[in-house]
Amino acid sequence: MIHSGDAAWLLEKREQHVAEVQEHYFTDPPIMERGWRELLVDADGRVYVDALNNVTSIGHAHPWIVEAIRRQWSLLNTNSRFHYPAIADFAERLADLLPDGLDQVFLVNSGSEAVDLALRLAQAHTGQRDILAVREAYHGWTYLTDAVSTSVADNPNALETRPEWVHTVDAPVSSRTDDPSRYAVDAVAEVERLAAGGTPAGAFLAETLYGNAGGVALPDGYLDAVYTAVRAHGGVAVADEVQVGYGRLGHWFWGFEQQGVVPDIVAVAKAMGNGHPLGAVITTREIAESYRTQGYFFSSAGGSPVSSVVGHAVLDIIESEGLQENAAVVGTYLKERLEELGSRHPLLAAVNGFGFYLGPEFVRENGTPATEETAAICDRMRRLGVLIQPTGDHQNILKVKPPMVFSRASADAFVEALERVLTTGW
């Protein structure tokens, strides 16, 4: 039996062959053995509150998923060129979750694939190669999604190394300015500049709530203004819902609903498979048809019977257990408790986000981002039994995005651990 004493040699073994650029959480990570709902249990039986795993949307080890996968694997798993009900049912159900007109579904295996395909569709449909993206973003690791990922926390050279057809605008973070409406004005000006220069943007790509920058809501009217300008020059609006979509915002199933807009192409992944490799692009029939200029679309495991059944089961569970509502109720409660904590501990300067996508942000008295403090807070929280990590270009924001089964008791445990750290030091 493995126990905590094995952590060091196991880590050494991992570092021998798991290419080192694939980093792991924590310098001395516990060995995780099992999970249940929003809890993780290590090899010594120590229980942690998992405030981090947005991918495990319906919670760890959900018996319905276990059974759905077991059953489908024992019957059939094959590629989507065969005819079986699960793919038709799941695609129909996904289309039903989106506004009218967005009813053509491509099933893939990850968020990177989904955003990559979304951009390729945009380029094929518009015949315009240039892409406008938002700075401080992460959209994936494929060649194309890496080209539009501008977060220097993920890649310090991100801005210098992007191709000349990728253009960026300021990260629209309202708290950094007295006039948040200027972000839309600047982005629209960039759209106009590109068009005037003969390279109009074929796509505007953005997360619909700014997950990577720390769960930051976009300024009111931002997407409406930029989408309108891009469309006026023949481009399309691409929404990256990989992190923030699928119910965790509580009041909205999709992030774009919070902005009151409808994109032309939606990329989704993570939550929809609860950790099973599953992603999708949903768009209009006209845009989907443009893929024909590239040949046929095929993904060996995308939309397989097992993946489709998983996607179905995840939605069944979100609906039957009221997980979107839980995100609204418990997420709001957690945000309020964190804000109250911030009123007593000035280092906790703001709490971004909604529902189960929150970003408590740490800023020093002199206004500089509390990067080192945030890393130390995460380490200390881990020792207190709460798993959390930093995000943002300054790594001074906690990415609070737990499984959507997160209970009020776990919200209390999270706040109490953070309070202890802020009171006694890290």
Interface positions with ligand PMP (CB under 6 A): 110-112, 115, 138-140, 207, 211-212, 240, 242-243, 269-270
Residue identified by tokens 């390279």 is: 199
By beta-carbon proximity to ligand PMP, the closer residue of 125 and 276 is: 276
Residue number with the smallest Cβ distance to ligand PMP: 111
Least separation in angstroms between CB 95 and ligand PMP: 21
Backbone φ, ψ for residue 20 (5° rounding): -65, -20
- Give dist(CA 104, CA 91) in Å, integer: 8
By beta-carbon proximity to ligand PMP, the closer residue of 112 and 304 is: 112
How many residues make up the chain in this entry?
Answer: 426
Which secondary-structure segment (H or E) carries 169?
A: strand 166-169
**Which residue blocks in 97-221 are alpha helix, DSSP H?**
111-126, 143-147, 181-196
Least separation in angstroms between CB 377 and ligand PMP: 22
Q: Are 270 and 245 in contact (CB under 8 A)?
A: no
By beta-carbon proximity to ligand PMP, the closer residue of 281 and 421 is: 281
Least separation in angstroms between CB 108 and ligand PMP: 9
By beta-carbon proximity to ligand PMP, the closer residue of 140 and 305 is: 140
Least separation in angstroms between CB 408 and ligand PMP: 27
Per DSSP, the residues of 382-421 read: HHTTEE--EETTTT-EE-B---TT--HHHHHHHHHHHHHH
Which secondary-structure segment (H or E) carries 350?
A: strand 348-354
By beta-carbon proximity to ligand PMP, the closer residue of 140 and 202 is: 140
Least separation in angstroms between CB 89 and ligand PMP: 23
Structure tokens belonging to residue 159: 């801005």
Least separation in angstroms between CB 306 and ligand PMP: 17
By beta-carbon proximity to ligand PMP, the closer residue of 234 and 275 is: 275
- In terms of DSSP bridges, do strands 390-391 and 397-398 run parallel, antiparallel, or are they unpaired? antiparallel
By beta-carbon proximity to ligand PMP, the closer residue of 248 and 270 is: 270
- Give dist(CA 33, CA 13) in Å, integer: 17
